[in-house]
A = this chain, B = another copy of it.
């Protein structure tokens, strides 16, 4: 957590849309950059494209080495040749969300509202973004790639919110939707956790009202605390107990101390050491202003509210085939939220299947080794392809 040097996010493959977007907040944002990665080959008929939507702190590096961390992509086990989302067969597109910090227009971008001298970044003056705004930016890129109809849109957590928004906004542009570990609205508890994360960033002395770039620092400590807390919510109590239990990592400088001498602040439980690592690794790849912008977008997400409080109305007459997935130990987006979504889809007479994966790994299960989940993804995509005559 000593990494307070400004974040250099480098350069990313992207498209620029000079016409920009009319955002839901009423602001016209232009130009808009959309950074993206693709995997596999677009078919001659352009009918095999799958949009993968990333979660809150994810990015477009689904299945190749991440340029900042040097680590494999976040969903390499799901996307690739022979994988459940098989790139021998499908053309996969993943885009950094609007408001993000990996190349798409966001708070790190130079401001284009005529204020500042052309070298100033948006920071907290970046206009508020909604999940629908993110999806409309993705839609521009999909059209830019010459694709008129997607085979599917797939994503977990906040990615699942985007999947739902895609299905509601562009129902005739996609055959299938797979919202995973998500909900059609952000709950009071989830808003509460996001708010604590934001307050932690605001409390950092290096926050500087969001203009930390001008000071050559980043609010690394506040951002790390926010990440540590959020990380707990991504796991289950069972997973934490299995991985760490109450094991203690002895401070080497206390190794010779008698057993009776508790070194309560230098010896740390392994779960503490793990969280500290998660926090400090995160601040090297993520921007605090994007943290604020994106958590706010999640908090405001409420599909029913966009349709006079009636969730089934959001899906009325939809031709999209849905497969809703939840994980039994996910307490951030619990199965009850998925059931609420499925009931609304059923009321709208949509084509929907629902799978609850039995696992103790918590919300993050969709990123982990869950063979049942792999089979669900592969099976659903094969079924849709067969039904569409693409087999």
Name A residues whose Cβ lies closer than 8 Å to a Cβ of B: 1, 24-26, 124, 128, 130, 185-189, 191-193, 195-196, 199-200, 202-205, 221-222, 224-225, 228-229, 232, 235, 237, 240-241, 243-246, 258, 260-265, 269, 271-272, 275-276, 279, 292, 296, 299-300, 302, 305, 331, 334
Contacts and interface: CB of A to CB of B under 8 A. Distances in A.
Contacts of A334: 237
10 contacts: A26-B262, A188-B240, A192-B275, A193-B232, A196-B225, A199-B221, A199-B279, A202-B221, A246-B305, A262-B300
Given A128-B262, A240-B188, A232 B275 contact: no
Contacts of A300: 262, 264
Contact of A203 (B203, B235, B245, B258): B203
Contacts of A203: 1, 200, 203-204, 221-222, 224-225
A249 to B, nearest CB: 12
Chain A contact residues: helix, strand, loop or mixed: helix
Contact of A185 (B192, B221, B246): B246
A188 B222 contact: no
A56 to B, nearest CB: 16
Ranked nearest first, the 8 interchain pairs of A and B with the lowest CB-CB distance are A128-B264, A203-B221, A205-B205, A188-B240, A195-B272, A189-B237, A25-B262, A196-B229
Nearest to A292: B265
A220 to B, nearest CB: 9
A111 to B, nearest CB: 16
Given A189-B237, A232-B193, A237-B188, A264 B225 contact: no
Contacts of A228: 192, 195-196, 199
B199 A224 contact: yes
Given A203-B200, A241-B187, A246 B302 contact: yes
Contacts of A279: 199
Contact of A192 (B240, B258, B296): B240
Nearest to A202: B221
A296 B204 contact: no
A232 B189 contact: yes
A225 B200 contact: yes
A266 to B, nearest CB: 10
